[in-house]
Structure 1
Amino acid sequence: MSDRARVAGYAATIFLSSAFLLMLEIAAGRLIAPYVGVSLYTWTSIIGVILAGLSLGNWAGGVWADRGAGPRAAGATLIVGALACLAILWLLTLVAPVLQASGLSLLSASFLLVLSLFFLPAMLLGVVTPLLTTLALRLDTRTGHIVGLMHALAALGSILGTFVTGYWLVQYLGTRNIILATAAGLFLLALPLLRGARLPAAAAALLGALLLGAATLSRDGFADPCDRESPYFCLRVVDSSAEAPFGEARSLILDHLVHGTNHRQQPGLLLAPYVQLMDELVLEHYRGDPPAGLRFFFAGGGAYTQPRAVGALYRAPEVTVAELDPVVTEVAEGALFVDPSALEVHHADARVVLARLPEERRFDVIVTDVFHDISIPYHLVTREFARQVRGHLAPGGLYTLNIVDRFPDPLLVKSLVKTLGAVFPRVDVWLDRVPEAPTRMTYVVVAGERDDWPDTLRARRGLPRSWLRVTAPLLATGTPLAALPLLTDDYVPVDRLVQSLYFTGLGL
């Protein structure tokens, strides 16, 4: 083989190994989502761990090359890297349950899970580029040309792996198949570099792969926990009939959180206290007698629990839903007893949908029920979005939304009260109970013109419950409102405000 052909082979190997590494990185976010969710902190862990492994591997590869490592060393590294990729699914079955039961914070659990699964593969693949670049320089004296070419190909491979995985592979192959395909690709990539290698070494690699496969299979590691994977979520539907007083109920889990529970026989039976509260607030707003033809807009569909209930509980309502993920709608229709034909569904972001609607289009009730992991998407809590909501509210209309935050002293809820207060005449906060110890709670915030809400709201229908208006005590204790930011599109530190959910055990 000519020197030029060998350099081309090394270049192709660098390009493809870099693509495989980024395939692993993108797949990592989906793989760990059912256990620790997807947030700024999980992606920070993924990117940081992959870069740390890559950096260590780059250093080790350079040192190894200076000590005389040849093509077979690069091939052996790719084989071990393939075995490390195969081990990811096996390790996941061992590590994830331990971390979930450990009581560690969401941030710590995310970091340790990523570290245990992806550091070693990233380090091994990091060895390849400096090692093969050095080997190429022994065949071609154009130092700048070779170094620049290899770095450019590594970057291009990374770009290709990112886009192909994010835009296509996750949706068509699924996360586990991507991991397996990456391992298989690394095995194939190693073969030209191992030409002439001894048979025992090849047999050992094959035996290692078979043993890892058997170990993973014995722990059901190849089974996908998702019923469906979309570009946004791992979706699962589980039976929740035990939570219902009668009949059949099913819940939708997106990544690792329940996003709604639907009762098959009674669409209007709202099992989650905060969901029932949001309906009761509408009833109370209309003094127990809502008129026919109310116009509802829901930012977020999820299990479509509330839009489905509105169709059953109100007279001739008009219901519009902005749900970003069309797969969520498909799952709701296929497994959660939802009939989307009775709804006006837009598969787009809520802000985009409201911006596209005619300015004169008004709604009597607007509901934001959107979560990105345990946090609400940043752009749906800002003053600019609040102005957009108010612009589409009919006179005397009602805006409600639910927020997950800590108790006591929920900083995000307080900042949201401050932000909405800059747009709406009146803002109130509700809870179904006042906890005795610090915990994670779902708050319901209501904004509009009404200023005579009762201190206690008792259910007019459905399960017998009551809720407390906690606006005054909430704002009078803990961090003062003046010390908290007004949330804008330019400054919306949601993760900082709810960081206690990530830095303590409250987030898991």
Structure 2
Amino acid sequence: MSALSQRVSGRVSSPELAVFVSGVVSMGLEILAGRMVAPQFGSSIYTWGSIIGVFLAALSLGYYQGGKRASRRATEDRLVRILLATGAFVAVVILAGDLLIAGLSGFPLPPRFASLPAVTVLFGPPTYLLGFISPYGAELSRKESKGEASGHVYAVGTIGSIVGAFGCTFLLIPSLSVSMIGLVFGLLLVVTSLFILAPSFPRRTVLATAFVAVLLVGAVAVPSAGYSVRGETVYQTQTPYQELVVADAGDTRTLYLDGQPHSAMDLSEPNRHVFDYTRYFHVPFLMTDWANESTSAPHQSGDIDRVLFIGGGGFTGPKRFVNDYNATVDVVEIDPEVIRVAKERFRVEEGPNMNVYNAEGREFLRNTDHEYDLIVLDAYKKDKVPFQLTTREFMQLTSDRLDEDGVLLANVISAPTGPASQFYRAEYKTMNEVYPQVYSFPTSGGSVVQNIEVVATKSDRRLTEEQLQARNERRDIGIDLSTEVDDYQAEVETGDVPVLTDDKAPVDALLEPMAGQRYVVSQTGSNGTVAGAG
């Protein structure tokens, strides 16, 4: 035993410290893995199942191999070598993680297994090495019996895992970027190695420790200062819920959540609809019955006086509604960082007509006493959908909070036809269980994964495409929706998809066929015409 480790409180030995740190780092890397692979593969149950399975398999193999070698090779010097080798692998994860994840995403595997190769290559080796620490620690333990030594090691390692889980989840992820979190874990391994080496500090091992430290710092420092295919990164962070990136490309500022484009703003014309799908948020103005449809007053809002947006993002819809109509807009956003970034980077201002609430959408609806004319559900992502906002019970709750002429619009990301359309068609079927009339408007054409606007009304009367076009011509709502109405999808086949309920909502299984497919977001030019897709 080293002299320093024997002196610290008279209780903490080098093997115990190594075991504790291995628990911290293994669990921290497991949580970090979810954040790293989410932009490419999503954060569905299949992604998390792959991560958990790979980490358990790698640790088990490390435990087995370490146990076989412990009686012959367990020394503090070898503990240091293992810790440093793990630190070097962490540097590789920081430096080449995104490149490897993208490169390994093309394996010809079923969608639910798509993330498995990347998780295995990136996180299998360092986790395997960490598996050696516990059996080596048990062999070097000062406990009198093997049973006591094993139990002590497992307890210390588990405590480390608890610290790693809570520390990474509640402290590191809300505060640091992915690369900086990796640096924290890598330097923790380096510092632990120095502690074990004290006070002798063998020259060769110290040089190896310094090399790994430089490698870790260099891995963080090497990437260029913020330009990618998305444009110039002006802000990036890890929130408690997702990776958030704000990037500028020309005059367009885009908000990316977990790697997917969520909202965009024209810096020279902040209220313009940059993404075409947000234009469809105005379609409900064609669905309601107006008290006086012959008026020539511009930008009339009909009977839509109070609007609720569930999901804020870049606040494109809320800003436009406040700007165009004399309506009160409430916005519910679960991620406080999204709200802060919207105010600082997307020119969102609260005021008499704009109220922003940091809350979960269903909980807010359950507790509010407001009655709305329009609810816009904009909280879905391509591969991560809060199931509690998809079910029949939730749809009934929205209906209860709408007035008798109220409208619900759900921004669904899916394909309109084919295997990747299962979630959209299940959501359509679920809404149809509660609302008398449900309409859908695919926004990008074809069968690609895109935004599909599903609109539900309480009216017993079904409006035809021709009637909607006639209303669009008569009503001045500040935007011409003739192109959007052309996308009216009259028939939706729902016989092979389930109604989603609180008791059974297989959202991950329904989203699975979309894994690996390109998400197409049509953009508009300054004159309102569709300019392209990305």
TM-score tier, shorter chain, comes to 0.7 to 0.9
1:505 maps to 2:510: no
The match for 2:280 is 277
Equivalent residue for 1:366?
A: 375
**Structure 1 90/222 Cα, relative in aligned 2: closer, same or farther at 3 Å?**
farther
> For this pair of structures, how many residues does the alignment match?
489
Among 334, 341, 350, the residue aligned to 1:331: 341
1:356 aligned to 2:361? no
How many Å separate the matches in 2 of 1:173 and 1:215? 15
Matches within 5 A, 1:16-165: 16-99=21-104, 110-136=115-141, 139-165=142-168
* Alignment counterpart, residue 290 of structure 1, candidates 301, 304, 328: 301
Aligned counterparts of 1:281 and 1:133: Cα–Cα separation in 2: 67
The 1:210–1:160 alpha-carbon spacing in structure 2 relative to 1, beyond 3 Å, is: closer
Q: Is residue 235 of structure 1 aligned with residue 244 of structure 2?
A: yes
Describe how 1:86-485 pairs up with structure 2 within 5 A: 86-99=91-104, 110-136=115-141, 139-194=142-197, 196=200, 198-210=202-214, 213-214=217-218, 217-220=221-224, 227-239=236-248, 248-264=251-267, 266-286=269-289, 289-291=300-302, 294-314=305-325, 316-341=326-351, 342-358=353-369, 361-409=370-418, 410-432=421-443, 434-435=445-446, 438-450=447-459, 451-455=461-465, 461=479, 465-468=483-486, 471-475=489-493, 481-485=494-498
TM-score with structure 1 setting the length: 0.87
Q: C-alpha offsets along residues 132-155 of structure 1, whole Å, 9 cap, x if unaligned?
A: 11222xx43233332222112211
Q: Between the two proteins, what is the percent identity of the paired residues?
A: 28
Please give the secondary structure, in 1, of the residue aligned with 2:409. Answer: strand
CA distance in 2, matches of 1:48, 1:222: 33
For 1:505, the aligned partner's letter is: Q
The 2-side partners of 1:180 and 1:166 are apart by: 16
Q: Distance in 1 between matches of 2:48 and 2:252?
A: 33
Please, what is the CA RMSD of the aligned residues?
3.0
Find the aligned partners of 2:139 and 2:25 in 1 and give their Cα distance.
Answer: 21
Q: Deviations over 1:404-454 (max 9, x none)?
A: 11241422222222212221111122223541xx42122111111233323
**Partners in 2 of 1:334 and 1:100 — Cα distance?**
35
1:212-235 CA distance string (max 9 Å, x none): 654664444999965233211222
Residue 483 of structure 1 deviates from its aligned partner by 3.4
User: Which is worse superposed, 164-173 or 30-39?
Assistant: 30-39
One-letter amino acid matched to 1:126: G
Distance (whole Å) between structure 1 residues aligned to residue 310 and residue 243 of structure 2: 20
- Shift of the alpha carbon at 1:20? 1.8
Aligned in 2, Cα 1:100/1:283: closer, same or farther, shift over 3 Å? farther
Give 1:159 deviation, angstroms: 0.9
3-state SS, counterpart of residue 501 of structure 2: coil
Distance 2:58 2:302 in 1: 62
Q: Tell me the distance in 2 between the aligned counterparts of 1:238 and 1:223.
A: 9
Query: Structure 1 residue 505: deviation in Å?
Result: 3.2
Contact 1:293 1:317 in 2 (8 A): yes
Whole-Å separation in 1 of the counterparts to 2:85 and 2:444: 54
Distance in 1 (CA, whole Å) between partners of 2:113 and 2:389 is 27
